[in-house]
A and B are shown apart, each in its own frame.
Chain A
Amino acid sequence: NAGVTQTPKFRVLKTGQSMTLLCAQDMNHEYMYWYRQDPGMGLRLIHYSVGEGTTAKGEVPDGYNVSRLKKQNFLLGLESAAPSQTSVYFCASSYLRGRDNEQFFGPGTRLTVL
């Protein structure tokens, strides 16, 4: 099992450009999450999904969109990147609801917006 994988691992964007981050899991988990991690801030939830075809906003959703067309994939989109979105992005998944279950994290995507 690969667990949770993320692509790409690194990316540099110019302000205003768009991109999509892909997260895939092979554990048949229902719940998936996108977090961002900034120095000294911990992990902050951007968006999450409780199942195929569903998405919901987390703590810091502005400037991001998500889609979950297939159960195993969760996409994070930046329509018009801003320097404030420079961060490390982690995808995670859990079998059921996050408050009761272990979350499995992907290796992260380091994004720099110039």
Chain B
Amino acid sequence: QQPVQSPQAVILREGEDAVINCSSSKALYSVHWYRQKHGEAPVFLMILLKGGEQKGHEKISASFNEKKQQSSLYLTASQLSYSGTYFCGTANYGGSQGNLIFGKGTKLSVKP
């Protein structure tokens, strides 16, 4: 079951904050976040493996709410380099043979 990402697109000015959400209809084992710039390969940001876990580095962090079956990615004080499409990938308990199912992505544009 493909996770649902929201919003589909967001436009920010440099220095503004953004939140991207990822929701699943099934119980989640893990949530992964990737960023893809136009014409390039997806690049790993972080994995969240436990319910309630929060991870981050510098100004990008994420949380995982196992009960609500959702994860949120937080981008603080955005920079031009944050522009790209953000994908969450989810792994469910007992399904998908331990593979990830990716959402459709959230396109983030940061303007000067």
Which of B34, B42, B99 interacts with A99 by CB under 8 Å? B99
A contact patch SS: loop
Question: Is B47 part of the contact surface with A, judged by Cβ < 8 Å?
Answer: yes
Q: Which of A34-60 contact B (CB under 8 A)?
A: 35, 40-45, 48, 56, 58-59
In the bound complex, do residue B98 and residue A97 qualify as a contact, i.e. CB atoms below 8 Å apart? Answer: yes
Instruction: Scan A70-114; emit 1 where CB is below 8 A from any B CB, else 0.
Output: 000000000000000000001000000111111111111000000
In the bound complex, do residue A99 and residue B29 qualify as a contact, i.e. CB atoms below 8 Å apart? Answer: yes
In the bound complex, do residue B101 and residue A108 qualify as a contact, i.e. CB atoms below 8 Å apart? Answer: no
Q: Which of A1-48 contact B (CB under 8 A)?
A: 33, 35, 40-45, 48
Question: Is B49 part of the contact surface with A, judged by Cβ < 8 Å?
Answer: yes
In the bound complex, do residue A42 and residue B2 qualify as a contact, i.e. CB atoms below 8 Å apart? Answer: yes
What is the bound-complex CA distance between A42 and B5, given in angstroms?
Answer: 11
The distance from the CB of B55 to the nearest CB of chain A, in whole angstroms, is 12
Residues of B within 8 A of A97 (CB): 98
Instruction: Scan B72-109; emit 1 where CB is below 8 A from any A CB, else 0.
Output: 00000000000000010101000011111111110000
Given A43-B42, A108-B41, A103 contacting B102 (CB threshold 8 A): no
Binding site for B on A (CB under 8 A): 33, 35, 40-45, 48, 56, 58-59, 90, 97-108
Contacts A43-B89, A98-B99 known; list 6 others, CB within 8 Å.
A42-B103, A45-B101, A90-B41, A98-B98, A99-B96, A104-B44
Can you list 14 A-B contacts with CB-CB less than 8 angstroms, sorted by A residue number? A40-B104, A42-B87, A42-B102, A43-B87, A43-B89, A43-B102, A45-B100, A56-B97, A90-B41, A98-B100, A100-B47, A100-B49, A103-B34, A108-B40
